[in-house]
Structure 1
């Protein structure tokens, strides 16, 4: 049995100077802020810590920050909001980008979001049949079946369109339950023979981006707080950062035996925190 020590938020404040905090499952769900999370985030910032919200969202950090403030979080309670969408834009807009301005982009997202394509100066493709590349930034699997997504993706896979997944989350929180996330759709594309470039947690680029933004030279002073072993904890482990698994979000209904299996097969957090409050 793997024993992971429990810790309090006050103890974390004493131990670390830079906090990378996940959004969904830690601070909020799709319905709003978790009880106590707004004051807890302000408490970390008031202690003089550098706070970076680190989210697997295909939308920009600016968009997400405004949405967080609307949910009751103070804009003064965090220094930066970094998303996988921001990292994707940074990489795909660079001089050595594998895509060309004006290319036709077919986007699978939530709420018909085509933000990344627009930021990159790409044209919107209505179907995969006319597209030059594919972006998977979100999921509406709560209302669109995975079989329907398979049919959407099949023409792209047959044409071997390059795919960029800007939200690797395998699961998403919807109305208190869990549904397949954008990462599950990207894995489906891979199963059809498509090639996917993954951008976001647990991959290194998003951590390098956040570490630079936070001017965090000493990684021993950085802690990552998240609800996903596959993304938050595995990602932190991969870049040598301490991690805290909160028992809200995607693992809130898991048993101790199920968590133990995941500790062995996926990643083991440095600490456990019952909730971010």
Structure 2
């Protein structure tokens, strides 16, 4: 693996798929130089897509980035797993039928039920009475996984299908890592439930972004992220080059530990980058 900086990436690629959390920001603030890095890409005429495994919309996430000092003009699109899930569900591409009578129970942060609302479905507070469970977010910084297990056990036992719109296993919170929505989805499967995951590293997320960009060739696309399981594996499966940034969830690993993890995960970045700036 070769070290790389932003100037070299600008020479090599035309389209940039850039992870939000762990590359541009943590749970509270922007990383130093990240906003300037995006502006540098746009000044060079590049197409910039911000990627996020977030159950909320791209518009919502874009506003949050702006509040942290990022310019809305420094990226072309903001693609979230929530947006992709809405597209797949509303077009009938997922094996789940949705109508106004469909009862949806949502696991999220901040009581967010935006996907159910966008689908014009019926929100319910009891997972046992739901037709579909959506796992969009986690509040594991204050709610242990054991409580999520108890909450979801009745739905899983009834065979209620689940859609996870944020497959991340860990998230940055309060200066550390806590279980994310993907970890709750794993619990649902352990309980015997069936889960469909939407987001990185799964191909529909990448194809959706590629379509928004006018279907550029994959050899001109680079995917930048901090997660081997999601960003780099997603890039590998999609067929584009991946850049692993040493901020975010892997920031504390030594070079030897990172090398072992890459071999164990079988997710191979083309380049390593100290930080996005």
Compute the RMSD of aligned alpha carbons. 0.9
Number of matched pairs: 274
Q: SS of the residue aligned with 1:140?
A: coil
Q: Which runs of 5+ in 1 are unaligned?
A: none
- d(CA) in 1 for partners of 2:92 and 2:195? 21
Partner of 1:120: 119
Instruction: Report if aligned partners of 1:150, 1:189 keep a CA contact under 8 Å in 2.
Output: yes
SS in 2 for 1:234: helix
Partner residue in 2 for 1:224: 223
Change in Cα spacing, 1:95 to 1:197, as seen in structure 2 (3 Å) is closer
Structure 2: gaps spanning 5 or more residues: none
What are the superposed Cα offsets for residues 190-225 of structure 1, whole Å, 9 maximum, x if unpaired?
111110001000000000000010113211000000
TM-score (norm 1): 0.97
Is 1:45 the counterpart of 2:56? The answer is no
1:276 corresponding residue in structure 2: 276
- Structure 1 outlier segments of 4+, above 3 Å: none
Say yes or no: does 1:79 pair with 2:76.
yes
Q: TM-score, normalised by structure 2?
A: 0.97
- In structure 2, distance between residues paired with 1:259 and 1:172: 19
**How does 1:192-203 map onto structure 2 within 5 Å?**
192-203=191-202
Distance 1:86 1:94 in 2: 12
What residue in structure 2 maps to residue 239 of structure 1?
238
Deviation at 1:70, TM superposition (A): 1.1
CA displacement 1:218-257 (0-9 Å, x = unmatched) = 1100000000000000000001000100000000011223
Rounded to whole Å, the distance in 1 between the matches of 2:183 and 2:256 is 24
1:261, 1:177 → 2: CA distance?
A: 22
1:148-187 to structure 2, matched below 5 A, reads 148-187=147-186
Partner of 1:9: 6
C-alpha distance in structure 2 between counterparts of 1:188 and 1:265, whole Å: 23
Within 5 Å, give how 1:230-269 maps onto structure 2.
230-266=229-265, 267-269=267-269
3-state secondary structure, aligned to 1:189 = helix
Alpha-carbon contact 2:89-2:98 (below 8 Å) kept: no
